[in-house]
Amino acid sequence: MRKIKVGIIGFGTIGSGVVKILASSRDLIRQRLGAEVEVIKIADLDITSDRGVEVNSSLLTTDAKEVIDNPDVDVVVELMGGYEPARSFMLQAIAGGKHVVTANKALIAKHGDEIFAAVEDQQVSIGFEAAVAGAIPIIRLIREAFVANGIITIEGIVNGTANYILSKMSDEQCDFDVALKEAQEKGFAEADPTFDIEGIDSAHKISILTRLAYGTTVNCDDITVQGISGITIDDIECAREFGYRIKLLAISKFNGKSVDIRVHPAMIPQSHPMANVNGVLNAVRVCDNLMEENVLIGHGAGSLPTGSAVVADIVEIARDILAGTKDRVPAQSFLKNEMRSIPLMNIDEIESEYFLRFSVLDNPGVLSRISGILGSHSIGILSVIQKGRCDQGTGVPLIMMTHCASEKNVQLALKEIDALDVVCEKSNLIRVEN
């Protein structure tokens, strides 16, 4: 029976998951593929630590070139993460005529143009399903299942760490720092969680989905990104009172002329299909011109969920190898000559409803001063919550929900309000996504 031979660079959490799945599902894969998938080389700087999976020591090496330059390897799987040397290894493998698979969203987001061009020039295949939302097959859906659909909106809860923290804050009424510490203790958050909690990881992922959905390249540095570290218990509880939950959303909307792409905490109605996607789960909502919406929910991280997406890519490439086909599905979803440059909408141009939290002195006339400034910028107030009295000289929360207004006007109004002598600290803004 034909064997498809795989070399892996990176034998950490995901790499060990891939090896486990290929071993445990060997027969199932053979029955569906008509060939065996065999790992013949694994490269990692650490080849002595126990990964929880049995591997013949002859397969292990500390030299990635033993994978890249191995003439027997059909598919090189990059699972080391980061920009370098992952980029160089990927390009070397492609230049050598190897098909490639990666779970590296940062690499695809930042160096996608270079990598996709190399793939097309060498006429090899690339799989990167695991780069976005783990086990949720959103990339395959956009590239293949939604090929006739004019996508209008993509919204996603695509970072399990941030979602776990917000879920815990909401369900257990604990502070951000407490929720983050628990996430780290359980292994859901890195020792340095910056990429996750500040929205950078989500920005990488939404830039990839935007490329596939609309056929345009997005520079991650051009995406408006706001993390969740400023979300408080007061925000969570007030959102609940208004009938909303707070989620870190990655958003991409195409109006036919420009793309509105951003990452930030958002209030979504409790009836929203993603409102009860909690813990480390991910969700992606796709709206297009043929269907109102499709919502996919699943495990977005972890050894086996992400490993299953990697294995799915390996098997898909193996099918093409066995069939002797190339370029069956364009790597970027669109043909190379059909890719275009679509301008990005400035955040100031968006319109939304807003949740505004102020800390103000409990003095007469404060509400009218703030509402007056909002009104002068054409911002209508939908509802108000004013918390109880406090000690003289300290601030009390004043919460407002607005009607739909422009981002530009809201920012100008907040700048004026923050300068008032009755405002005790910088105001907080959370956008509403219905």
Active-site residues: which are they? 205
What tokens does 244 get?
A: 């909303």
Name residue 263's beta-bridge partners. 225, 250
| Cβ neighbours of residue 388 closer than 8 Å, sequence gap 6 or more | 396
Residue carrying the six token digits 């400035």: 346
* Residue 259 to residue 263: CA distance in whole angstroms: 13
Contact predicate 344/218, CB 8 Å = yes
Q: What is the full DSSP assignment across 151-216?
A: EEEEEEE--HHHHHHHHHHHHH---HHHHHHHHHHTTSS-SS-HHHHTSHHHHHHHHHHHHHHHSB
What tokens does 370 get?
A: 């703030």
Name residue 428's beta-bridge partners. 357
Contact predicate 388/348, CB 8 Å = no
Short-list 67, 108, 34, 65, CA closest to 321: 34
φ/ψ (deg, to 5) at 405? -145, 165
* Residue 91 to residue 65: CA distance in whole angstroms: 12
> Under DSSP, is residue 249 helix (H, G, I), strand (E, B) or coil?
strand
* Other Cβ atoms within 10 Å of 58 Cβ, number: 8
* Residue 215 to residue 148: CA distance in whole angstroms: 13
Quick one: the chain helix, strand, coil %, rounded to 5? 40, 25, 35
Measure CA 323 to chain center.
33
Please report, in angstroms and rounded to a whole number, the separation of the first and last CA atoms in the chain.
53
Contact predicate 95/118, CB 8 Å = yes
